[in-house]
Every structure is written in C-alpha cells, then in structure tokens.
Structure 1
Amino acid sequence: MIGARNLALAICILVLCAIGTVSGSGPAPADAEPDGRVWIDGTPLIRAIHEDRGDLYRHIDSDTGGKEHVADTYMPGDARTFIATDFVTEEDYTVNATCRATGDYCYVFVDENETVAEGEIRDLVETFDRVIYPTVTGTFGTEIGVDRDRRIFILLFDIRDSLHDSATELSIAGYFDGSTSNKIDMIFLDADARGSEVRSTLAHELQHLVHHSRDPHEKTWVNEGCSGYAEFLCFSTENRAKVRAFNRHPDTPLAVADGRWARSEGEINQAHYGASLLWTLYLAENYGDRSGDAQRQGFLADLVAENRTGLAGVDATLALHGFNESSEDVFKRWVVANYLDAEGGKPPLGYDGIEITRYPEVTGRVDLTRGTGAVHSFPAAELPPWSAAYYEVKADDPAAVSFANDQGFWMERVVNRNGKAVIVVSPLADRGAFVLTVAEGNGTPAD
C-alpha cells in the first residue's frame, strides 16, 4: 500500500529528526523513557490515514441526524470488541477487551492480551472523572460525540505503531479517531504509557473528541492548540520541548495548512505544536478564561463551536464577544509577546501561565554604532504566511533606528533589556522573500 509506505517513511524521519543521530549504543533523548521510547500524539497521523483512504468524514457523511444509541451499560467484567487502526499498514483490525472499571464519565476497557494494574486503572478513572472531564468540557464545551451514553470509552491496548528500526522507538501514546466504525465516543490509549504521560494524553485526546463533536472540519493547527491547552489546564503541562522548538524556528507559520502539518517532521513538527499552544494560551489570557473577566469564560467554547475554521473562526469569536480586534491584530501582538516574554513581559506583552526563558532565534544581527548614518541591508530571507522573523540592531540610540523592507511586510520595533533595537517582520497573510534595511541617525533605509 503506497499510503502506508509513505506514512512509515514519514514516521522514520520524524523520529530521526526529533532525536538527532541515533546509534545502537548512544543515549536516549531527554524526553524518552528508560527503554528509549519516545511518546507522540497519533491524532494527526490517523487523520492522514483517513485522508489516504478517502474516508476522513465517513462518519459525518453517514450521519442521518441522530446520535447512535448505546443500549448497554457496561460493568467490570463485561467484554466488547473494538475496531482500531494499524498505523504502519493503515488497515483496521479488531481488539477484544474487557471492562475493568466504570466511572461517572468513563468506561475503561483493557485489551485481553494486556496487563494493567488495578491501581493504575483506579487512578485513571479518578483523574478522568475529577479533573480531565470537568476541566475540558467546562472550557471547550459539553456537547460530546455520537452516542447517547454520557460516558467516554477509554481503550488501553497495544497501539500498532512500531517500526523497530532504531535504538529509540517511536510510540503513539494515544489518539482520537472521529471516523472510526465503532460509532461511540472513544479514546485510544497505549497500555504501556504511564503516569503523567497517559494523563496528559487523555486530556489532549478528550479535547479532540469535544472539538470533533462541535466542529469536525476545524483546521489541525487550531485543534492541536486547544488540545495542548487542555493539557496545560488539567496538569500545568507546558510542553517545553515544543515551545523551545518553536523558539528555535519562529519562522514556523501559525496558520499552517493541514497537509503541511501532516508532512512536517522532527523539530518543525514540534514547532507547529509549540506555536499552536502559545497562540491558544495567548487567546485564553487576553480574551478568554484566563483573562480575569467572568464574561469571557466561554470564549474557547465558542471558538470550538464556530463552524468557520482557522483565523476566520477566531475573527468570528472575537466579534461575538464584542472585541474590535481581528485575528491579524492579535497576531501582531502575539509575535511581539513571544519575544518580550523572555524579558518578563505580561499579557498582552507576554504570558502569565508560561515563561519563555530565551528570545526567539534571531535571523540577523548588525552593529550600527561605528558610524553616524550607517545603513545596513540584511541578506534576503523568505517567510511563509503568518510567521515572523526577528532582527537585532545595536545602535547608539535604539529608539532612533529606522527600518524598511522591499515587500511592504508588517514590521514593529521593540527595544530589549540589553538596549538593542529588535525589528519584528511578518508578511501576515502574504508570503515571499524580502530584504530588511535598517539605519541609524541620519541614515535612510532603502525602500
């Protein structure tokens, strides 16, 4: 199967780029388990599989207007068969599982071939019922899924994802599949994931389930940002590796096409996650549930329910809540905040909930102190839509540094704590190569 081969190749590249050069005797990466396992989210991959098979919206298209009725109430000891997907072959297969626990908001089933301790099952149920379910539904919306049972099915099993071709093994910690033939509200978790990893993954995937229930056509970058924020809300999970990846690649576009997200590998893949998480946190702190305004508690739920997708959905939600700003206005402040947070900036010039300890990677630097009226043009650089670049200029008077670019891209100057002018450049919705020219004193930048 061509699609399966392409997916397998993408996964190999993802692992190798994420962990660097791998050798049989080399150390495991910092985010790996002792056995060399690296955990990732499988939801974008399962979406790509369904796109390859042409059945991405199969369940939506076959919906006749009513939810499926789940007649049975499951109790510990009850058995059921589920349909799962092999990430390597892209083929569906069945999993025979037994109900191990019934909570207020979940059933926990375990593959009959897996062993999971009772204590871990109890912890999973209590965490889901007391923390994950109320937090995620309270933030993103209470309308869930395709069945009439208030409980979510959680299946613990061995997710088929291993390629066994390196010392460090890629493992999918969990995924949500909105196109599955199970026709129930369901989350898939790998039985080998433990502790904080499985709890964060469960919060992440529940947001996907809620989002799919309210707006199944949402852009991946919006959906993944909300799932990262769900982890943050439930467990203060900051996903620092992903934020650091975005910091190293600030030219990573925020509003990225689904296909580009699915094709991204390694650190760029992680940078997409970091950008989406920071964007969602920025919305929450300035317009939503973390803004301190009780009237804004429903902002993210309204964003999730909005059937316009991507930035158009953000525009509609801002308007719904009475804001005059557009998503473009918010983006301009956001790219500046991503720089100033390293200086201790607070909303709207930074974050409350996360601390970015280093400036975004600088595209270019220049020292203009050697002569009054000095002018400097940086080498041409190319930016995709909704990305940014940062240029550092040392000058006798940083506030007097003038700047221009030959494409008319949006720019803003800030002065950092080291007394250097920093020019932020973004094409916004445009794209292409540009040349930035800066000058000090009587110098005039070239247009």
Structure 2
Amino acid sequence: MEVTQMSERCSTRACSLLLIFLVSIMSPLASADPVESSENQSFEFTPVFADLDNFVPSDSHPYMLPDSDEALYSATRMMKNTWIDEGMPGVDIATSPQSMTSGRACTPYNEGDTATVPTSGGSIDVTVEKTTSTAAFMVQSGRTLSSTVLNNWASTWDSTVYPTLMTYFGKDYFDGRGIAAPDVDNNCQIEVIIYAIDGAYNIGGYFSPGMSASREAIFIDIDDAPLTWSKVILAHELQHLMHNALDPYENLWIDEGAADMAAFLCFGGSSTLYGHVNAWTTASHYSVRWWNQRTADYGGGFIFLLYLADHLGGGPAIRKLAQDSSTGAAGIEDLARNPIGATPGVIGRDFIDI
C-alpha cells in the first residue's frame, strides 16, 4: 500500500510554546544574580549534519539538469530531517538573525582569506578563492577549481541568482540592506563551500539548516562544479537557505516546488524539470499536497507555485507566502485573500477552489 504524507516531519510551534510556558512557571520569579546583557553573552552553537554515508537518492530531490545519463541530487532534505529529529536547535536564531547582530558592521571575507568550516564529514580548511559583495566562494585546501568556473559562478551570482532570489524569497531585516538574505554571522555574504563530497554525480550539494544559527552557507561537491549546469545548485540551495530563515516549518511540497521554481527563474527549463511537470500533468489527480516522493510531486509543487506567482503578484507575492507563518494550504489561502496588486479572491479564497 502506498504511504502518503501531507508535509515533512516537523516540530510544531504548539509544543515549543508549551515547553516554554512550563519552564517559565517553574523558574523563580526573581534572581539575586545580575543579568548579563545580551551584548556580553557568548553564543555557542554545535552544527547538526546528517551522515552522507546514509544518503539515499530515491529520497532526495534531483537537480534540474539537461539530458544526462547520470543523476545529480540535493542532500538538503536529508539534512533537514536530521535537524528536525534533533529538535531543530537554533531555530529561533535562524529565523531572527538580526537578534545576533547590531546594525551593519559587515566584516566580509576577502580573496585569499583562510578559514575552518564545519561540513557533514567534519571540519575542513578552506581558502576564499573568489568573492562578491554577497558571496564568498571557498575551496577546500588541497583541491583546486578553475578560475573559469569561479569567475562564471561569481558573475552569474551577481547578475542572476542573488537578485532573482531576493525578489522572490528575500526579506527586509531592517538592518540597512533592504531586501536581502539572512546574515546571522554579520559578514553580508553567503558562504559557498566547495569541497569533496562523493565524487562526480550522485550528491551535488546541500544546505544544512542545522548550522543556520551560526552562519549562512551552502555546500557544493567540487567534482560536480565543472559541470555546465552546476550553477543550478547555487539557485536551488540558496532558495532552501532563504526559505528556512523565513519559515522552517513550511510544508515539503511548497519548499521543494520553490526550489525548482528558483532554478527555473534563474536558468529556464531543463529536461529534468519538464519531466517533473509532465509527470504531474499526466497524473493530475494527485493532489499537490499529498507528498509521496514521486516525480509528479516535484512537478506539481513547481507548477502550482508558478501559478500563484502569475496570478497573485509575482515575486512579492511569493515573498509574502514564504514569510507567512501559516503553512501549506492555510498560507496559500492567506495570500489568495490578500494578494499583491490583484483582486482578492481572483483565483478563489479557499484552497479547494484554488
């Protein structure tokens, strides 16, 4: 019998609020000890990663790539499920990065800088090989990536990936940057960590929400970086990073549909995407909300998000949906009743009519 699920496994807000309430009523009403100011407190955070040795391609999202005999997958879903299993540590900071920073005193990386960064396989040393005002491309020490690839990625990031995703998934954090990505580490850059994961193909990259309380980073396999369409990984994983900061509780079909939409908006269609869409259009009796890891599920989520953007206000409408704390159908109904620059209810007010 086929098993379906409405959304990804999640940690509910209700349980979190109840726990906070119980702790608060058991705490003393007053303390004789002085309260340390937030400015003097040090924050220790241990990143949470999944073990990529347990990676299962059939449980993962294939990237939008052109015709190929090989497949390339995102390991983000595996990372997020592990984070959920651990109780979503750091979620309050990941969704309110401004609470860890004060004003815009960015300390960006420069080319030639070195750092030690956590990964699924343990900490590695990296060198910053290329930077823009919003990205730092870091390559694992002892490995090389051609300047052609790095320059192409940096140019595409500035001209296409970053501005497009800000339109659809950015947020004004009221820190002087306008609509932007989260910036908990106060360097105003997304770290693109390029290192050896598992050789060519299979895992192409991932975003790990289990480290989003300490830094903004996406990971790409260095052996997949030379592929012609490797830039798709940048758009796909940046969407996951930004959506997680806006609403980490969002239903799986919306988050994954948005990841395909991000790649499509940046780079157009591909045989992989067309396969996703055709799988759903030939089996449209499948509800977009009933996720069962079918190819059609990805296509349904993608085409539905595009439909909402086309009718309810484009990028600003999707940005509003992503920031809505209501999840799944409830968030979509909120948007349908209060669209951006469109008539309320133009596509219906209740999900059953939309």
Cα distance, 1:159–1:287 mapped onto 2, change above 3 Å: same
Contact 2:114 2:128 in 1 (8 A): yes
1:153 and 2:153 equivalent?
A: no
Amino acid at match of 1:58: P
Match of 2:143 among 111, 114, 118: 114
Cα distance, 1:143–1:104 mapped onto 2, change above 3 Å: closer
Percent of residue pairs identical? 24
1:32 and 2:53 equivalent?
A: no
Corresponding residue of 1:243 = 277
Cα distance, 1:155–1:248 mapped onto 2, change above 3 Å: same
Q: TM-score, normalised by structure 1?
A: 0.57
Corresponding residue of 2:251 = 219
Contact 2:321 2:332 in 1 (8 A): yes
Aligned partner of residue 273 in structure 1, secondary structure: helix
Contact 1:221 1:272 in 2 (8 A): yes
1:43 and 2:81 equivalent?
A: no
Contact 1:83 1:182 in 2 (8 A): no
Instruction: Report 1:65-76 matches (<5 A).
Output: 66-67=99-100, 72-76=107-111
Structure 1 CA distance, aligned partners of 2:201 and 2:149?
23
For the aligned residue pairs, the C-alpha RMSD in angstroms reads 3.1
Corresponding residue of 1:11 = 56
| Bigger relative contact order, structure 1 or 2 (CA pairs below 8 A, ≥6 apart) | 2
Aligned partner of residue 197 in structure 1, secondary structure: coil
Corresponding residue of 1:104 = 133
Amino acid at match of 1:191: I
Contact 1:143 1:214 in 2 (8 A): no
Instruction: Report 1:397-436 matches (<5 A).
Output: none
Amino acid at match of 1:281: L
Displacement of 1:200 = 1.3
1:81 and 2:116 equivalent?
A: yes
Amino acid at match of 2:249: H
Structure 2 CA distance, aligned partners of 1:329 and 1:286?
17
Question: Can you give the 5+ residue segments of structure 2 that lack an aligned partner in the other structure?
Answer: 1-49, 171-178
Contact 1:303 1:317 in 2 (8 A): yes
Match of 1:316 among 319, 334, 340: 334
Displacement of 1:282 = 1.1
Structure 1 CA distance, aligned partners of 2:52 and 2:156?
37
Contact 2:325 2:331 in 1 (8 A): yes
Corresponding residue of 1:326 = 349
Corresponding residue of 1:429 = none
Displacement of 1:148 = 2.3
Q: Deviations over 1:366-412 (max 9, x none)?
A: xxxxxxxxxxxxxxxxxxxxxxxxxxxxxxxxxxxxxxxxxxxxxxx
Structure 2 CA distance, aligned partners of 1:12 and 1:147?
32
Corresponding residue of 1:191 = 222
Amino acid at match of 1:245: A
Contact 1:68 1:184 in 2 (8 A): no
Displacement of 1:103 = 0.8
Corresponding residue of 1:299 = 317
Corresponding residue of 1:283 = 308
Q: Deviations over 1:338-361 (max 9, x none)?
A: xxxxxxxxxxxxxxxxxxxxxxxx
Structure 1 CA distance, aligned partners of 2:143 and 2:129?
12
Aligned partner of residue 118 in structure 2, secondary structure: strand
Match of 1:172 among 203, 209, 217: 203
Displacement of 1:157 = 1.0
Aligned partner of residue 101 in structure 1, secondary structure: strand
- What is the aligned length? 282
Displacement of 1:187 = 1.1
Contact 1:245 1:271 in 2 (8 A): yes
Contact 1:173 1:197 in 2 (8 A): no
Contact 1:143 1:210 in 2 (8 A): no
Structure 2 CA distance, aligned partners of 1:288 and 1:58?
34
Contact 1:139 1:301 in 2 (8 A): yes
